[in-house]
Amino acid sequence: MKVVVTGSRGFIGRNLMARLRALGGNVIVPFDSDDSLDDLRAGLATADIIYHLAGVNRPADVHDFETANAGLTRSICAILHELGRRPIIVMSSSVQAALENPYGASKRRAEEALQEFAAATGAAVSIYRLKNVFGKWCQPNYNSVVATFCHNIAHDLSIQISDAGREVELVYVDDVVETFLSDLPGRAVDSRRDIPSYSLTLGDLAGRIQSFHDMREHLRLPDFSVRFNQQLYATYLSYVPPDSHRMQLDIRMDQRGGLAEFLKSSHCGQLFVSRTRPGITRGNHYHHTKAEKFFVVEGEGVIRMRPIDSPEVIEYKVRGEDFQVIDIPPGFTHSIENIGAGEMITLFWSSEIFDPDRPDTYFLPVFADVASANAVSL
């Protein structure tokens, strides 16, 4: 299948091109501002589908609205008429097409040109009036508040909010692209067809993005069960400078080795990691509500636990190469000992974030009475 993409180097065009390449099986013909109408004609001559994404929304000369938006669309229709072809045409328009401003009027006239072509030829035409698209590769400080906030916050620059209570409606570029792809011939069409959108205030938007930046300090994850948070976080990361991708954790060192908190979440607890020297034991405490999981990633150890009201000790020998996870229930005092020759690296999960005011951690040796305790190895 031959696919022509106009505006191929633009924000949406780059994302669409990446998905088309990943799908495979298509001959993709990109067209952008540096290409000629002869290049466009050559692509249109054999195109099965045209994604018409080219256009301008902040030109230096207001007359360029008409040339780049309505004019280019009319040229495409004229070339197709001349060639006697009627491929599928998918056009990205704007909600501003309903408004009386130079940009909106030029997009509306582009829509009308396509609709006239469809009426005259029977060609299948899909026109999507998009609103505030956000995602990776969008140009900051141009016409996207999300791109600007993400870029500035990621680079420790200030942001300007004139009205924090003003609501904006956003759509994610991957959702736009997925909807566009439903128009490919032979592809199952999503019966919903509507592109998901999100409405929130500018203050809320800025606060979420700032919290992503501050994760380097507080390690707290947003609620990723909310799809919008996943999309916004992915967008934010795409603006973080390459020299800022590395993050140093706060390591707590003592005679046992090192320990560092890794990630925290009010929805699923926290992760931390330790390096334990040979012969050293960590733990010998219990929790009433907090549950934990121990996963020895490297080295060899033994995890011991017993009910706090019983003498019976349970032992689990663990090795990094075995990829075993041990559950630590509440009401069981527990410990982990490095019985290997080298350092033991352990990943811990706790069902709640540690709160020094309510630690739910009580010291109690696993072997309360070594002489009478029974150990059962599992």
The string of pLDDT tens digits covering residues 1-48 is 999 999 999 999 999 999 999 999 999 999 999 999 999 999 999 999
pLDDT greater than 70 at residue 202: yes
pLDDT greater than 50 at residue 97: yes
pLDDT of residue 370: 43
**C-alpha span between 314 and 291 (Å, rounded):** 17
Domains in the chain: ranges and CATH:
1-130 (3.40.50.720), 131-247 (3.40.50.720), 251-377 (2.60.120.10)
pLDDT of residue 376: 60
- Average pLDDT of the residues in 318-346: 98
pLDDT of residue 188: 55
Contact between 131 and 95 (Cβ < 8 Å): yes
The residue that leads in pLDDT, 378 or 163, is 163
pLDDT band at 120 (very low <50, low <70, confident <90, very high): very high
Whole-model pTM: value is 0.90
3-state secondary structure of 144: coil
pLDDT greater than 60 at residue 189: no
Q: Environment class of residue 79 by beta-carbon count within 10 Å: exposed (0-12), middle (13-18) or buried (19+)?
A: middle
Residues that are catalytic: 103
- Average pLDDT of the residues in 106-115: 96
**C-alpha span between 95 and 372 (Å, rounded):** 77
pLDDT of residue 119: 97
Which residues in 97-166 belong to E strands, given as ranges? 125-130, 133-134
What amino acid occupies position 367? F
pLDDT greater than 80 at residue 375: no
Closest CA to 7 of 59, 50, 71: 50
- Average pLDDT of the residues in 127-149: 96
- Average pLDDT of the residues in 148-167: 97
pLDDT of residue 158: 97
The residue that leads in pLDDT, 200 or 187, is 200
pLDDT band at 196 (very low <50, low <70, confident <90, very high): very high
Range scoring the smallest mean pLDDT among 170-179, 180-189, 192-201: 180-189
pLDDT of residue 192: 42
Percentage of the chain beyond pLDDT 90 is: 89
pLDDT band at 193 (very low <50, low <70, confident <90, very high): low
The residue that leads in pLDDT, 59 or 317, is 317
pLDDT of residue 129: 96
pLDDT greater than 50 at residue 123: yes
pLDDT of residue 374: 52
pLDDT greater than 70 at residue 305: yes
CA distance readout (Å), 264 to 28, 216, 219, 234, 267: 44, 11, 6, 18, 9
State the sign of the Cα–Cα–Cα–Cα dihedral 184, 234, 149, 151: negative
